[in-house]
Structure 1
Amino acid sequence: MESEDDEWELCYDDGFVYKRRKRRRLNSPEPSTAPDQNALEKLRKERKKTTLLKLKSKYEKEIVQWQHLSNTLSALQLSSSNQLNEQQQQQNQNLSIPSTSGSAESSLLDDLLSQVEAQEAIIHDISNLCDVAEAMCSKQEEQYKQSLFDLPIWSTPLELMQVLCYDD
């Protein structure tokens, strides 16, 4: 009979008296969990550090790629401007020198042909740069998509909440 009395408690609520089952009291966390908290904190910091280092190396690689593309484009612009200047000087010289009509037309035609070939080379180089930039963007997009596909499926809402609340 005494064990039954331990399970019930008397409650006084605004003039009403009634019995209800006793609630279990949760004890405060023991001091033995403090080292666990420290270990968890160290583990969390270590994971965060490795994640940040991976992210840093990824961004450094991307910066190097973009710098390479930028340098290549600058070199193309410089070479194209030099070629155009040379061609303009040749045209000016050809126009200022009087010569026979057949040789002047032939040299002018050669100059125009060389200009077109130079422009074709420039367009080809820029097209290659665009292909490289497009490949980089596609690769980055695929990596992003794959990271979304790799997300796990949680069996319970509690697991989902733990993952979402986990501080990475």
Structure 2
Amino acid sequence: MAEADWEEQDEWELVNDDGFVYKRKKRRLEPTITAPPPPDPEAEEKNRRERKRQTLIKLRERYQKEIDQWENLSNTLKAMQEKTQNQQQTTTSSYSATASPFSPAQSSNSGCRRLVDDLLLRVEAQEASIQDVSHICDLADAICNTQEERMKQALVDLPIWASPGELMASLCDN
């Protein structure tokens, strides 16, 4: 009987997990399972370098795409500024020509019509500027949304979400 007690105790082990002490069955290594042969250090180094190279290529492509988007946005903004400055110069010069005080002879329909045309040109220039700014804001918003989705996807792609059952099992085993 003492020999049977010894075998039963041999199957259990005490585990101290941060002050929580409990018994569990000993894990037995199956004799049919052999440890894999040690990996070839040269092949492992080559694989590591290739993975690193591929990762750097992907990172470079992603950053280059983002840089291209920002350059496009910057060029659009510069073109819009130049266009606005040209329109302001045109309307300012035409307005200064008609801005002299009206004499009774100049208060004809042609003087008023010129003033209305100048004001209409200004309004159209402002409308074009507002549309350009709106377009730039839409581009910047799209870039930010793309980056936010990329960051979210990086969190979703973490291996712990792939198999939560395995995660729980590994946590319970320890």
TM-score (norm 2): 0.66
Q: 1:145 aligns with which of 152, 164, 171?
A: 152
1-structure distance, mates of 2:158, 2:52: 19
How many residue pairs get aligned? The number is: 125
2-structure distance, mates of 1:72, 1:135: 15
Q: 2:131 aligns with which of 124, 127, 133?
A: 124
Unaligned 5+ residue runs, structure 1? 1-31, 158-168
Q: Which residue of 1 aligns with 2:91?
A: 87
Q: Which residue of 2 aligns with 1:75?
A: 79
1-structure distance, mates of 2:124, 2:144: 30
Q: Which runs of 4+ in 1 moved over 6 A?
A: none
Deviations 1:61-97 (A, max 9, x none): 1111111111111011001100100100001111249
Residues 104-123 of structure 1 aligned to structure 2 (within 5 Å): 104-123=111-130
Matched, 1:45 2:49: yes
2:54 is matched by which residue type in structure 1?
Answer: T
Q: Which residue of 2 aligns with 1:63?
A: 67
Deviations 1:121-144 (A, max 9, x none): 111111011001101110110111
My pick for the range that moved more, 44-53 or 100-109, is 100-109
Matched, 1:100 2:100: no
Q: Which residue of 2 aligns with 1:54?
A: 58
Q: Percent identity?
A: 48
Give 1:106 shift. 2.2
Q: Which residue of 2 aligns with 1:28?
A: none
RMSD: 1.9
Matched, 1:133 2:133: no
1:67 is matched by which residue type in structure 2?
Answer: E
